[in-house]
Chain A
């Protein structure tokens, strides 16, 4: 039995990594999502908008640029799904949660920075994204996505 396993080492390693990727990836993703929704509820009263300048100058007490960035890696199982998806075409659903988590986490970190600076609202929100470790479907590199959220945090004069 052991000998058969040793002869098919490549297959065994592949199945093991896929199983590990699925289990660990699912657990990590679930924990991340619960953390995201908890912190989103906490920061709900600090709005983020994409308007450039919604307030007259007199209303402002001050402004500062804030940013939040995060890098999230794919796991072995997600990559397998994406490789198969490359054959058939269509939505790469396995990466959807990845970028969704990255966007929300980056915005959360940015909002956190704004709150620490005592600001009331973040205007002119922009999102940048980049791939770290090109060609994620290649065995030799680990694919990650970076999302950077930045904007202008402003403190308003209280009436």
Chain B
């Protein structure tokens, strides 16, 4: 038999699909699956958040509170109670027994935790200049409780974290891609919640003082300190302070709230007060 060498004309071992086309298909499919899953679980979390028993919520709150070193603050408790007293008698918040804690960090922030806990950071207490401002912050946190955000936010954050962890493990390159995708999705939701809590808090502030003075002062001071570009707020959990001021001012104008002078506050006195036993 004679040997005739012949070159192979085609390669059956390599698929013809273009790698970029393959990438586009898989990324698209992944985005779709994640979106559907996230929406479904997000809805489920909201349903659960509405019906979670009180002791389960308190347990969650205790777990969350472990992240901070806190002291109780009777002065802030009284302040919150006087805010609550101005709510209408049928408000669901009257059924809760709120407690305010001061966390020993420089960060300017306050959080609403499950289990009727409000944590105010020391940095924020040092930054507020009037009683009205402080009440606006507390009213904002009460707004989160009124909308039951303290559970919904927790749930959605957990879902997003769980999703990325389950799919890609702890440290994988694709994880960062998916994480930033779900985070920006989450941020949009969370910014809507913050805006809603702002509006709710403003109404309560007006009910308490009869005017809206001091409602935007705090955010104005923050926005002067804040030199981050607007783009950075795409993924942030809170809206840009300037946007918060704008929507608050819009609401003040629409509801024709009056603006009167504020009651000055010495926050060092608040911090010096002996803690609740």
Contacts and interface: CB of A to CB of B under 8 A. Distances in A.
Interface of A: 1, 3-4, 7-8, 10-11, 14, 17-18, 22, 40-41, 44-45, 47, 76-81, 83-85, 87-88, 91, 93-94, 96-97, 99-100, 137-139
B7, B17, B19, B27: residue with the most chain A Cβ atoms closer than 10 Å: B19
A88 B167 CA distance: 11
Nearest to B11: A100
Given A47-B3, A84-B27, A96-B15, A14 B176 contact: yes
Given A84-B30, A87-B167, A88-B29, 4 more contacts: A81-B22, A84-B27, A93-B15, A139-B173
A93 B171 contact: no
Nearest to A83: B174
Interface of B: 3, 5-7, 11, 13-15, 17, 19-20, 22-23, 26-27, 29-30, 167-168, 171-174, 176-177, 180, 228-229, 231-232, 235
B232 A4 contact: yes
Give the secondary structure class of A's interface. helix
Nearest to B174: A83
Contact of B180 (A4, A8, A17, A22): A8
A78 B14 CA distance: 14
A22 B14 CA distance: 17
B258 to A, nearest CB: 40
Nearest to A45: B5
B88 to A, nearest CB: 43
Given A4-B232, A84-B30, A97 B5 contact: no
